[in-house]
Chain A
Amino acid sequence: MPETVTVATVADLPPGRQKIVEAQGKEIALFNVDGQIYALDNTCPHAGFPLGEGDMSGEHVICPGHSFHYNVKTGECLNDPNMQATCFEVRIEGDEIVIMV
């Protein structure tokens, strides 16, 4: 069963920014796209680079390793349909960001 984990406050993550957090022993990358928060497994499924260190481009994050573009809402990879980043459900509770891990 997934557990809810508070990982940051909304104030920690302004629009257009990303942040790496840890929950249940996993590194997770948070992204703020136009005020909505999304969460992906921080490890790129291609070669293991940290997605949370990548540049954002609209609703995509560009992996710092090989510049693969992932949609932070769906985990879909624009560069290789075989690649899929793992998404986590995000809830905002008060001013806290809570994810289901």
Chain B
Amino acid sequence: MAEPVTEIRDETIEYFASPPEFFRKRRSQGSVIPSVLFGAPCYFLVGPKAHEFVHVSGRHLFSSAQAYRRVIESFGHGAIIAQDGEAWKIQHDIITPLFSPASLNRMFDIKKKLYADRMAQWPGEGTVDLLQESIMLAIRGSLRAMFGLDIDPVVNEVRDCLITFGEIAFMTFGMAETEARVKETHRKLEQILGPQIDAKRRNPGEDGMSYYATKYNPPLSNAEILQHAAGLMFAAHDTTKSMMTWSFYLMLHYPEYRARVMQEVAEKVGPELTFTPVSLPNKLPMLDNLIKEAERMYTPLHPNSRVVMEDFEFEGHHIPKGAIVQVDAFAVHYDPAIFYDPERFDPDRFAPPREEHKHSPYALFGVGGGERVCMGKPVARQDIKTALILALQNYELELVDQGELEIAWGPMTQPKNGLKVFVRPKESEGQRGTGA
């Protein structure tokens, strides 16, 4: 039987200071680690079997809606991460076509152009912050390509609203002082996007906002649409931004591996990025394995929370109804029994014959799993590849020495002080840009 979790001091600060270190210190405790986070008792269920149990075979025992109540209170009741049962299924089925190969192909052409246009604004020779650039690429790509929005007049204001929701959902505590801020932000978002939603009702396309505007029966109001869409708009760009930034960082920090990626891109892509969809593995294994290593080492949204709806036993431990259960990708991603020498950057761990991620379907677990797997996974991979390839084709890139890189571990993993990179165009200004 596990120790009563109420006897454990609050471990929130230690956990978010470095989740890999947190789990390293507790490796001997086995697959159930009692803890206290944010003042509430909880149990970390650790390892691939735990991921399988929470996301697949034991999923009926858990509620996401109860675990992510703050997400509902900020983004709105329709945030899919915080829905359960029929409401979740209806929304899941409505948005699934957004993540099909056909949709990826549609989005690819739009994003390639957006990314190339943004990169064309980089200085002729100078420093850019690739964290900020990844944010701008990801938010513009998500709003324009996935949601079909006319972004130029609204992108910064929408981004500000989403940041506010994200901060309230994940970073601040005590709803009393944030309730008014949430209300005001929803009012502002509806004011900004209302006319575009009305236009989608009249003339729908194959995009997320059109799906929300036309596929619900009975139809949703504009406010309700945004209570659904805001969560997806946030998720669609924030995780991509994180993994894109880390993929850039790893590629630039390890020049020998960068040379291999560059050779692969030169041989298989050539000077223009024309084939789609680039998310499919096997076509660019070096680049694909680099992105997998970024997912393993710097998993964007690593914690997954659930509230227990019925008592259950897991690996000999009794977990009571009402408890909070956490599964965290870092507990597996830094486990030397699964990933050899896990502290080390080693993308070849994913290549034959090692293929360490194939030890279990739940070994590389950066985007959740089971029926609630992040639907945007192939979109994010395609976006990251597109950005990296366009940057490599057009620019010499060199990390600016920022000293030891400080990491903000969560809940969204990113470099604390940005990622400064010196960029120099490979060709003259007039010849740059392969997005057309």
> Hey, which bits of chain A sit against chain B, CB under 8 A?
47-50, 53-55, 57-58, 60, 62, 64-69, 78-82
> Hey, which bits of chain B sit against chain A, CB under 8 A?
55-57, 96, 99-102, 279-282, 355, 358, 361, 364, 369-371, 373-375, 377-378
Residues of B near A50 (CB, < 8 A) are 101, 280
Residues of A near B370 (CB, < 8 A) are 79-80
Complex: A53 Cα to B277 Cα, angstroms: 12
Partner of B377, one of A48, A53, A62, A67: A67
**Could you list 21 A-B pairs, sorted by A, with CB under 8 Å?**
A47-B99, A48-B100, A49-B101, A49-B280, A50-B280, A53-B282, A55-B281, A57-B358, A60-B361, A62-B358, A62-B361, A65-B99, A66-B99, A66-B373, A66-B378, A67-B361, A67-B377, A68-B361, A79-B371, A79-B373, A81-B57
Residues of B near A64 (CB, < 8 A) are 279-282, 378
Residues of B near A47 (CB, < 8 A) are 96, 99-101, 375, 378
Closest to B55 in A: A79
Shortest A47–chain B CB gap in Å is 5
Residues of B near A69 (CB, < 8 A) are 361
8 closest pairs, A vs B, by CB?
A57-B358, A69-B361, A48-B100, A80-B371, A65-B378, A64-B280, A78-B361, A66-B373
Residues of B near A65 (CB, < 8 A) are 99, 101, 377-378
Residues of B near A48 (CB, < 8 A) are 100-102
Shortest B137–chain A CB gap in Å is 22
Residues of A near B355 (CB, < 8 A) are 55, 57
Complex: A67 Cα to B381 Cα, angstroms: 12
Complex: A53 Cα to B279 Cα, angstroms: 11
Complex: A54 Cα to B361 Cα, angstroms: 14
Partner of A82, one of B279, B361, B371, B377: B371
Determine whether the beta carbon of A81 is less than 8 Å from that of B279: no
Shortest A52–chain B CB gap in Å is 11
Closest to A82 in B: B371
Closest to A81 in B: B56
Closest to B361 in A: A69
Determine whether the beta carbon of A66 is less than 8 Å from that of B358: no
Determine whether the beta carbon of A53 is less than 8 Å from that of B361: no
Q: Which of A58, A62, A79, A81 has the most CB of B within 10 A?
A: A79
Complex: A72 Cα to B282 Cα, angstroms: 19
Residues of A near B375 (CB, < 8 A) are 47, 66
Complex: A78 Cα to B51 Cα, angstroms: 12
Closest to A80 in B: B371
Shortest A78–chain B CB gap in Å is 5
Shortest A37–chain B CB gap in Å is 20
Residues of B near A79 (CB, < 8 A) are 55-56, 361, 369-371, 373
Complex: A94 Cα to B321 Cα, angstroms: 60
Shortest B113–chain A CB gap in Å is 24
Residues of A near B281 (CB, < 8 A) are 53-55, 64
Complex: A81 Cα to B355 Cα, angstroms: 25
Shortest A12–chain B CB gap in Å is 17
Shortest B249–chain A CB gap in Å is 23
Shortest A18–chain B CB gap in Å is 10
Known: A49-B100, A53-B281, A79-B361. 4 other contacts (CB 8 A): A48-B100, A65-B99, A79-B370, A81-B57
Residues of A near B371 (CB, < 8 A) are 79-80, 82
Complex: A62 Cα to B292 Cα, angstroms: 14
Residues of A near B374 (CB, < 8 A) are 66
Determine whether the beta carbon of B378 is less than 8 Å from that of A49: yes
Partner of B282, one of A55, A58, A67, A78: A55
Closest to A60 in B: B361
Residues of A near B378 (CB, < 8 A) are 47, 49, 64-66
Complex: A47 Cα to B96 Cα, angstroms: 7
Complex: A67 Cα to B99 Cα, angstroms: 13
A80-B282 contact in complex given A48-B100, A50-B101, C-beta closer than 8 Å = no
Partner of A53, one of B280, B364, B369, B373: B280
Residues of B near A68 (CB, < 8 A) are 361, 373
Shortest A5–chain B CB gap in Å is 24
Closest to B282 in A: A53
Residues of B near A58 (CB, < 8 A) are 358
